[in-house]
Structure 1
């Protein structure tokens, strides 16, 4: 038995097909004819774009337009003047071959993404790597064909890129297993979209199996068993049958409002990163959006999104959700999350630095564009604004003051907005939790961001495997801060929700229900199970 990370729940029993990691050797060579080398690179870019357009079209048919959008961002990277220009400049200035220049630029981009705190953004470094690998393969003529598969195939790979997953035969693949990756890696996201089990981060699974091996994938516990004995096989056949029955049973809760067994109403919302994610939330019975991470509108581009573009994105989400609440977090960028077109100073500790509300209060020109777009979209549904990384009442009041300025501007322009719009804060800094009794007098709602609250409270970087044992959502100090925040909100007649990973943690539900948490917000795939657990408490 090998232990990894459960990326998509469920059980699968099938035959292994190993997708071997293809390494292309990069040799740095001096180039005299830089014009010819630039042309080689340009042809590889054009071929890569043509390939990705075909893959995108295939993905749209098989997994839906929203999940195929990742290839649009890949195509955009190929069209990105800054990316291609950086490679070309390196070819010309350093007189090096295109392969070497490309490798260096891709490596630089990947390191930037991997240094980010947000797990989702770190995993997006895989997008850069995927695009770079495709261009490199086209430069070297080293294109590997996609493997043939039979029914009940479990794909075992070092990693699965978006291009890999789009080209696999979805009618035959029943599970993914990879050496590397986390819950937000593309192989994991694709597995959850297809509703098939996945275990990632197994380190050396590709060295432990061979084609044709029988393998059990336990996506519940994050384990795989290679060539199991008869008793183990029978045990997992029963587990698989019971799991599938339970999953079908959960679908009955899609349109059911969530109440505890004591009759207390609890709302179960979904977290999204882009407008297309709303469909999955609704499909899984989400009663609202508890967190719209708006920073993704600012990523993978070379300029700031304008007011009209943002307005249309927010309008799309609130219209799709109808009367259901949509909590939109204002821009959480800066420090560890960098934008190529927004220079910020280098910092010794970016997690505690110039980011989120701190950046927005300083760069009101950026902040007001977003606030105006949010206000205009507020008339199309139940939109609420949430300010991130608030550490003091002064910050919240300043943000409200800027929001009022935007309201006055729109009034003068004759543009409509919801004058009774609710505004709240993300409680993710211990200072906000400790001072929640005072903050609760001024906000309309709280939403506890446990990912940062836990790491700040325990002084344990959640990305550092050396101190991972310290990062514990159920630590008494963390629970005290959560309980304190909920009680402070209720004392003022305000709602308190939670949008961090802890909200979807099955082990934490009972405690959070006991504390009186009003709203749980999580990834779409966790909603139905959370509903069931809450209704039992």
Structure 2
């Protein structure tokens, strides 16, 4: 009986493949397919619903329902049984559809005489494409064999859709025309700026051109050969990385377990027996496993989804021979489009890129850090961009607004070019201020420093007019390697940084890892809230070997020159004391070894938690300088995770309560006569910058491109007058100073 079912399934799939190969319109193919499926399964009705947009399903073909309802019947995502299948990614099987919760009666289709309903999702690796439905007059639930067989058919339809089998030839036939119309995708800002260019896909998706297999025996052999090669590669990867013991070994062992899973292989072989090719069987199992894992309540199981995706993609590339290098040439003005990307891979592209768009990512991710260092706009959380975009497509990236325009209309492009031209013109005006001080109308001078992390940043030091580097992120040299850098490598790099600074001060922040910055060669920590966990100076004081090595490299790099060392994420005085003592020990050691010393050593701390604002007076007196890390301080002050888009934008750095905290920090530093700076994204925003300056900050550190706009505004403002406006607003009980400051600046 099973053999006959397999035979019937293979016959149906071959008929579908013939339909795909035959000439004709997309609508004709859909009509033929619904007829073949209904005929093969012995049902009166077969219907195909496809997504018209992200939230709307449209009846695009049917055998058995009213033909006049095609392209007229539409449902919202989650609406009715069809919408439920699309939303959940799971089948609905019922002998009495009208009795099901959420049933929606669509009288125009004439479906009321078909109570039996089976709907399965048409999806490709988590991408929702539509819903396949069969219905019958007999009030009977469909069997498990029917469900499984329809799943296989839906998989083939998904691959046919990927190959463009159901696209319209014109706008007149009612069918969608993928990759042709303009698409605007709203994501989130990862790095500000604007860029126009052409799409360059980081890892083009595997295209399956043969979803149906002619010979199950041959397809099984191909699959088993590829799986054996995959297992060998995974075992070799584990051996090469010498993963032994600890949590990293457990993660890699789970990865290896997936690769060696007999049930994973068995399910793919069963799909092949029903008529799928080896590639289609892999992708079908990948899609169904993704649906299961995405709905899991256990975060550990959801995390394993990435492992399974990676393994499946490796297996698909082995089967198809489609690697990342497709032979395509990178276009002029490339905009990188990817699901996600590591820092080393992004650095490999370097300054050739005009911008980056990611489906995933976060504002503090490795990719965002590198994008800031490269000074290129970055948009994150751009849903479906890798599906919508093709290599070479025209694309506009608005990092300021977090919006991407794919294949834009000329009117949108023209407006966007005007914006870029205005920004370029403004930068030219700011260039004239490069050698002038940031002195306000009332005579207060603010020192403007730049943030850096790569050698590529250093040319901006002179051109931007920065007075030094207020933050040099040393972790980038660790994040972009597969092993711990050697002391000599770091010493040479830091010396090169100081050479390029040409006597201007550079504040080297020691290794700030943990939270969202995990080194590829360190054991990952399973922490429920890593931003508040084992990170930065906490790691350095627990793993002193790496911190000692880095401090030795800094001392050796600064021969005969001043050295500024800044410890990150200090939360209480004893952490700073321990780190300071460790630095002094390394200086004494280097002296004993006869090495030349820096001409001066200045040691500071980053104030990134509210607790340090209340540290004893002794702490402030011990520090040679203090830098407020605005990004983290704001997140901890408001208890708002800056990686969480739902909450991070709710809280304003010009909130009156936050300004009160900054005022206290300024006062305590003034009392101890310790220099204070504000470092972070907000320091580079002109309105925030002048507000901080009015509150007493005399040094601001920001990305190089922000120095011109900030200096321009400071030179036009009376900071003492602004302070009086701020104090009056606080006295009046205003909860937020932004509207008051903005209105006052506009009137000036």
What is the TM-score of this pair, normalised by structure 1?
0.70
Asked if 1:371 corresponds to 2:555, the answer is: no
CA change 1:78–1:528 in 2 (3 A) is farther
Give 1:503's match in structure 2, choosing from 670, 683, 691: 683
CA change 1:530–1:145 in 2 (3 A) is farther
Q: Is the 8 A contact 2:231 2:256 kept in 1?
A: no
Find the counterpart in structure 1 of residue 701 from structure 2: 521
Give 1:260's match in structure 2, choosing from 418, 440, 443: 440
Secondary structure in structure 1 of the residue aligned to 2:570: coil
CA change 1:324–1:134 in 2 (3 A) is farther
Q: 1:328 Cα shift? A: 0.9
Asked if 1:354 corresponds to 2:534, the answer is: yes
User: How far, CA to CA, are the matches of 1:266 and 1:142 in structure 2?
Assistant: 55
Give 1:24's match in structure 2, choosing from 186, 206, 211: 206
Secondary structure in structure 1 of the residue aligned to 2:427: helix
Find the counterpart in structure 2 of residue 404 from structure 1: 584
CA change 1:211–1:424 in 2 (3 A) is closer
Q: Is the 8 A contact 2:200 2:330 kept in 1?
A: no
Q: Is the 8 A contact 1:271 1:521 kept in 2?
A: yes
CA change 1:478–1:308 in 2 (3 A) is same
Report which stretch shifted further, 134-143 or 470-479. Answer: 134-143
Q: Is the 8 A contact 1:11 1:218 kept in 2?
A: yes
Q: 1:137 Cα shift? A: 4.2
Q: Write the mapping of 1:382-421 to structure 2, written as runs, cut at 5 A.
A: 382-418=562-598, 420-421=600-601
Q: 1:293 Cα shift? A: 1.8
Asked if 1:483 corresponds to 2:675, the answer is: no
Report which stretch shifted further, 201-210 or 446-455. Answer: 201-210
Aligned length: 473
Find the counterpart in structure 1 of residue 477 from structure 2: 297
Deviation readout 1:179-206 (Å, 9 max, x if unpaired): 66566786996799587x7755443568
Q: Write the mapping of 1:322-341 to structure 2, written as runs, cut at 5 A.
A: 322-334=502-514, 337-339=517-519, 341=521
Q: Which runs of 5+ in 1 are unaligned?
A: 46-76, 108-125
Report which stretch shifted further, 178-187 or 444-453. Answer: 178-187
User: How far, CA to CA, are the matches of 1:376 and 1:478 in structure 2?
Assistant: 40
Q: 1:480 Cα shift? A: 1.8
Give 2:622's match in structure 1, choosing from 433, 442, 460: 442
Q: Is the 8 A contact 1:250 1:528 kept in 2?
A: yes
Aligned-pair RMSD on alpha carbons? Answer: 5.1
CA change 1:396–1:234 in 2 (3 A) is closer
Asked if 1:430 corresponds to 2:613, the answer is: no
Q: 1:340 Cα shift? A: 5.1
User: How far, CA to CA, are the matches of 1:357 and 1:373 in structure 2?
Assistant: 17
Q: Is the 8 A contact 1:188 1:200 kept in 2?
A: no
Larger RCO (CA under 8 A, 6+ residues apart): 1
Find the counterpart in structure 2 of residue 37 from structure 1: 229
Deviation readout 1:136-185 (Å, 9 max, x if unpaired): 64763225454796x9x896956696989989997xx9877666656678
User: How far, CA to CA, are the matches of 1:396 and 1:515 in structure 2?
Assistant: 26
Secondary structure in structure 2 of the residue aligned to 1:305: coil
Deviation readout 1:440-463 (Å, 9 max, x if unpaired): 211011100111111111111111
User: How far, CA to CA, are the matches of 2:334 and 2:626 in structure 1?
Assistant: 43
Deviation readout 1:383-422 (Å, 9 max, x if unpaired): 2011112122222122222222112211211112236300
Q: 1:221 Cα shift? A: 4.1
Q: 1:251 Cα shift? A: 2.1
CA change 1:409–1:134 in 2 (3 A) is same
User: How far, CA to CA, are the matches of 2:529 and 2:426 in structure 1?
Assistant: 45
Secondary structure in structure 1 of the residue aligned to 2:458: helix
Find the counterpart in structure 2 of residue 114 from structure 1: none
Q: Is the 8 A contact 1:502 1:508 kept in 2?
A: yes
User: How far, CA to CA, are the matches of 1:22 and 1:249 in structure 2?
Assistant: 41
User: How far, CA to CA, are the matches of 1:169 and 1:374 in structure 2?
Assistant: 27
Find the counterpart in structure 2 of residue 454 from structure 1: 634
User: How far, CA to CA, are the matches of 1:38 and 1:213 in structure 2?
Assistant: 33
Q: Is the 8 A contact 1:318 1:383 kept in 2?
A: no
Secondary structure in structure 1 of the residue aligned to 2:686: coil
Q: Write the mapping of 1:194-343 to structure 2, written as runs, cut at 5 A.
A: 201-203=381-383, 220-223=400-403, 239-334=419-514, 337-339=517-519, 341-343=521-523
Q: Write the mapping of 1:54-93 to structure 2, written as runs, cut at 5 A.
A: 81=241
User: How far, CA to CA, are the matches of 1:34 and 1:222 in structure 2?
Assistant: 41
CA change 1:166–1:332 in 2 (3 A) is closer
Report which stretch shifted further, 17-26 or 450-459. Answer: 17-26
Report which stretch shifted further, 237-246 or 462-471. Answer: 237-246
User: How far, CA to CA, are the matches of 1:448 and 1:514 in structure 2?
Assistant: 16
Find the counterpart in structure 1 of residue 193 from structure 2: 9
What is the TM-score of this pair, normalised by structure 2?
0.52
Q: Write the mapping of 1:141-156 to structure 2, written as runs, cut at 5 A.
A: 141-142=321-322, 144=326, 146=328
CA change 1:252–1:139 in 2 (3 A) is farther
User: How far, CA to CA, are the matches of 1:168 and 1:406 in structure 2?
Assistant: 35
